[in-house]
Structure 1
């Protein structure tokens, strides 16, 4: 049996459960391969913007069950709200056992303060033209869906996969400029508050680097996403790393050894469907 990797802190963001682009099966494999002491969900985990009863596959529910299983096992799980799940912000500071719903989080990690938040507060489009941002999200999801079909075709003929959206982003200097500005702004704000780490999501761009500011250097980290990059942040033995999911690291027989099986039904302990329905009714 393959042993689970022990991790002090795992950070994931921008999963977008409820959309066609979500890579829930890969995420589930990752979650079931680790044993975190803390798990931080840094925004846009459930895509409430595009939530529909017509598309909520079992693989997405399995991710929710696995997250709830961490909670039942006593693993502190921090759900930090993002822009796609911003409607949960009115429930901020809610706690259920080891589950914490918050807008932001400050942790002291080995004597250094780390500031966790999604990052959409830096997005001018989100603040002033939310309808445009939502329209763009629908277009992005459609692009990812088309991209998935193209990659399926490329895989059949033995060709390397490609990313439409990353090529589009790379072709616009403004996109690169926005990412750099986002990272610098986050670092400067964190330095002013006296934090050594600032950890964001939102821009779907995994990154880890030291950024100098007037108030000192800050380590900026971004967990990326689980649509294209399939990345997470991990803190182990005093060091941060960016984890990149690769199919080759998960052998086909892993499903049988219990690590990736979904045999444990949490239905008797926690009715996840009822919980989601309650939240949806509150939102409406």
Structure 2
């Protein structure tokens, strides 16, 4: 299967070295894409809970894959988080296409993106790190228990169930914390004239516009690879949330943002520079000539959609 060519992929909160990490699924996702930039937005390696007793081969394969992507031309930015904060002393270190930093600011098609992990806004980490670490161990144990529960549910033909999500959604304090986090981050981004603010940390994938009296911005959270198995992708001047459990079974072309795009804009975004598209942008897709349609089949997105439809 051909890899999907995208501008940027953002993943965070992988927590390599813990029982909750879905390393195999992450490798499958990374093998399916060919991004120009890959942003690792914190908590990739869980140094807080690192144990020599548990670091399976699949977790090592993730690290090997990331290094391989950097070696093959992808710019890889490792933004430090709280669980891998020991790497902050290596901030601004660059090794070829692999860079370690605490935050990243990008210009994307005339808009500014502010990218950081998000733990700087977590009061529990700033004021009571020991409590945050204790909570991290408790969360890991909960995920381990949940894996056994889900194994049993699948055996009896039932759907998987997330204990941690149920607890978070059922506790008003947790819901309020997430809401306050998002609003605080968005307000600061607006005040500093950023169009996009991209975080991880809270394990809640989200894409939402925020406004205040000073302007507006798009808040994005890449979620995690423990419960949600999500990433952020930027292509065709648009952001989308990738859900491994759903999107791996569907053609990329079914993304709602792509459906709404003008056919000419879409073709211009993915077409080979050597192809003369003539006046396609002014034509309806049904009016494209047979010769032009044949050329369309050579572009990544149409090949990908066709192959995925055949498999599904």
How would you bin the TM-score normalised by the shorter chain?
Answer: 0.7 to 0.9
Where do 1:34-49 residues align within 5 Å?
34-49=33-48
> CA offset at residue 249 of structure 1?
3.0
The residue number in structure 2 matching 1:202 is 201
Residues 63 and 247 (structure 1 numbering): CA distance in 2 closer, same or farther, change over 3 Å?
farther
Calculate the aligned-residue CA RMSD, in Å: 1.2
Where do 1:1-284 residues align within 5 Å?
2-246=1-245, 249=248
**8 Å CA contact 1:92, 1:103 repeated in 2:** yes
Question: Quick one: distance in 2 between partners of 1:34 and 1:98?
Answer: 17
- Which runs of 5 or more structure 1 residues have no equivalent in the other structure? 252-284
> CA offset at residue 174 of structure 1?
1.1
**8 Å CA contact 1:187, 1:213 repeated in 2:** no
> CA offset at residue 144 of structure 1?
0.1
Question: Quick one: distance in 2 between partners of 1:81 and 1:161?
Answer: 31
- Pairs aligned (count): 250
> CA offset at residue 192 of structure 1?
1.4
Question: Quick one: distance in 1 between partners of 2:172 and 2:213?
Answer: 26
Secondary structure of 1:18 counterpart: coil
Question: Quick one: distance in 2 between partners of 1:5 and 1:248?
Answer: 12
Q: State TM-score, norm by structure 2.
A: 0.79
Which structure 1 residue ranges, 4+ long, deviate > 2 Å from structure 2? 247-251
Secondary structure of 1:217 counterpart: strand
> CA offset at residue 248 of structure 1?
8.3
Question: Quick one: distance in 2 between partners of 1:48 and 1:28?
Answer: 20
Q: Deviations over 1:110-160 (max 9, x none)?
A: 000000000001100000000000000000000000000110110011001
Greater gyration radius: 2
Question: Quick one: distance in 1 between partners of 2:248 and 2:129?
Answer: 39
Q: State TM-score, norm by structure 1.
A: 0.86
**8 Å CA contact 1:19, 1:51 repeated in 2:** yes
Question: Quick one: distance in 2 between partners of 1:62 and 1:174?
Answer: 37
Q: Deviations over 1:58-107 (max 9, x none)?
A: 00000001100111012100000000001110110000000010000000
